[in-house]
Amino acid sequence: MRIGVDASCWSNKRGFGRFTRELLSSLLAADTRDEFVFFVDSQAGCEAEFPSSAEVVVARTNASAAEAASASGRRSVPDVLSMSKAVWRHKVDLFFFPTVYTFFPIFNRTKIVLTIHDVIAEHHPELIFPNSRARFFWNLKLRVATRQADLLATVSEFSKTEIADYYNYPASKIRVITEAAKSEFKMVSREAPALLPAKNGTSGSDGFLLYVGGISPHKNLSKLVEAFKQFRDCGKGQPVKLVLVGDYKDDPFYSAYPGLIEQIREYGMEDEIVFTGFIPDDELVRLYNEAILLIFPSIEEGFGLPAIEAMACGTPVVASRTGSLPEVVGQAGRYFDPHDSDDMARVITDVVKSEGARRKMSSDGIARARQFSWERAANDTLAIFEELRTN
C-alpha cells in the first residue's frame, strides 16, 4: 500500500510536532511492507531532514501551514490547493494527517485518517484565537476535515470522548494513538555540575520548580505564577525558583507572555521566575532531572507529553485534575484544581516539603512512563491503516 502523510509540521517545536516526528519515524521502522510518501510545504522542505526511507514531495507554498488556523489563519487558498494538487499528482491509497492543524482537502478517492489532538479551541476559543478571522477559518477547516475523514485518531480516551461529543462524530470511528517519551528522556547522573545555571536561572537556589510547554493562555501560567507567589510567601525562606520552558519569541499561537511579564513585575518576582525560551532535548533532559518537580497547570490538555517526559526522568509531577492529565499521569501524580491558586499552592507545598512523597512519586512515575512507547503508538497506527485497507 502507498501511504501518503502530511509531514508539514515535522520541525514544529510544540507537542504535535514531536508527535509527528516520533510517530512517523517509528512507523517507518515498524512497517517495511508499505511505501510512505511525505508531503510537505516549501518551508518544511527547506528546514527539515526527513528519513531516507520515505519519499518526500515538496509542494510550492508561500507560508508554513503549522498552526496557521489557530494563530493568524494565514494559510492562503493557493497554498492549500498546492498541497492538494501534490497529492493528486502522486497517487496514494491512504492519507494520514498527524494533526488537523495542517489539514488540506484531498480530491482523489483516497481513504483518510485525520488526527485531532484535542478540542481546546472549541471549549475555550477566547484563550486560543487572537481574532474572529482566525476562529472562522479554524471552524471551516474542522467542518471540511471531519467530513472528509474515514477515521479519526486522537491521543487519549478523554479526547476521544470530547471529540465525539463536540463534533457529534461516532465514537466507533475514533481511534486512540497515545504519545510517549523519547528514549533519551531518562534519569541521568547528578554528579555533573548543574546544567547551564546562568542561562536557565537556577544558580544560587536550593532548587527549582519546572514548567514545560507553550505560553498560550489555556496553559494557565497566570494562575501558576499566582500559586508560586503564595508558595513563596508561606515558605520558610527556601530560595526555590520557578523555571518556565517554552518558546515565547517565535510561537505564532496567541501568547500570554506580555501579561505574564506584567504580572511577575507586579509581584516583584523578576529574580524568582525565569523564562528560558525553547531549549533542545539534551538540555531539557537535564532540567527534568534537576527539577524538584514538574507543574502542569493547564486548563485542558489532549494528552500532556511533558508529564510523560518528566516521569521518565524520575521527576515528580503535580498536575491539573482536568482534561487528559489524570488519565496520562495516573496514580503517579498529585492533582489540583487549575482554577484555584490556593489548591495549587497547597499541593506544590506538600510535595516540596515531603522527600518521602517525592521518592515514591519518582519511582511510580518511571513505572508509569514505561507503559507508553512510540513503538506501541506505531503499531496502533498501523492497525488503523490495516482496518481501512481491508474495508
Domain co-membership, 162 together with 253: no
Radius of gyration of the chain (CA): 21
Domain co-membership, 93 together with 16: yes
Q: What distance lies between CA 237 and its chain's CA centroid?
A: 35
The 10 Å Cβ neighbour count of residue 126 is 9
Q: Which residue has the higher pLDDT, 193 or 55?
A: 55
Domain co-membership, 352 together with 225: yes
Residue 39 in domain: yes
pLDDT in tens, 202-216: 554 569 999 999 998
Domain co-membership, 226 together with 355: yes
d(CA 244, CA 241): 10
Domain co-membership, 170 together with 229: no
Residue 190: band (very low, low, confident or very high) from pLDDT cuts 50, 70, 90: low
Tell me the C-alpha to C-alpha distance, in Å, between residue 155 and each of 23, 116, 297.
12, 8, 19
Residue 295 falls in which region: left (phi positive, over 0), alpha (psi -120 to 50) or beta: beta
Residue 187 in domain: no
Residue 265 in domain: yes
Residue 154 in domain: yes
Residue 232 in domain: yes
Within a 13 Å sphere around the CA of 260, how many CA atoms are in the beta-carbon half?
Answer: 21
Tell whether the model's pLDDT for residue 163 goes beyond 70.
yes
pLDDT of residue 131: 78
Residue 337 in domain: yes
Residue 69: band (very low, low, confident or very high) from pLDDT cuts 50, 70, 90: very low
Tell whether the model's pLDDT for residue 75 goes beyond 70.
no
Residue 190 in domain: no
d(CA 292, CA 203): 14
How many domains is the chain built from? Answer: 2
Domain co-membership, 386 together with 342: no
Cα distance between the two ends of the chain: 14
Share of the chain above pLDDT 70, in %: 90
Domain co-membership, 162 together with 248: no
- State mean pLDDT over 40-49: 78
The CATH number that applies at residue 320 is 3.40.50.2000
Domain co-membership, 7 together with 154: yes
Domain co-membership, 311 together with 335: yes
- State mean pLDDT over 217-241: 89
Domain co-membership, 231 together with 254: yes
pLDDT in tens, 7-22: 998 988 888 899 999 9
Residue ranges making up the domain that contains 341: 197-369
The three state secondary structure string of 251-287 is CCCCCCHHHHHHHHHHHCCCCCEEEEECCCHHHHHHH
Domain co-membership, 167 together with 238: no
What strands, in cross-sheet order, belong to the sheet with 94-97? Answer: 55-58, 35-40, 2-6, 94-97, 111-115, 151-154, 174-176
Q: What share of the chain is helix, strand, coil (3-state, %, to 5)?
A: 45, 15, 40
Q: Which position has the grid cell 514548567? A: 211
Q: Collapse the DSSP code of 292 into the 3-class scheme (helix H, G, I; strand E, B; otherwise coil) and give the result.
A: coil
Smallest Cα–Cα separation from 293: which of 370, 244, 351?
351
**Which residues, including other chains, have CB under 8 Å from residue 258's CB and lie 6 or more apart?**
none
d(CA 340, CA 356): 26
d(CA 350, CA 232): 13
Alpha helices in the chain (DSSP H): 15-30, 42-47, 68-71, 77-89, 120-123, 125-128, 132-148, 157-167, 197-200, 221-233, 257-267, 281-290, 305-312, 325-329, 341-353, 355-369, 374-390
Average per-residue pLDDT for the chain: 90
Residue 89 in domain: yes
Tell whether the model's pLDDT for residue 198 goes beyond 50.
no
Do you know the residue count of the chain? 391
Domain co-membership, 120 together with 225: no
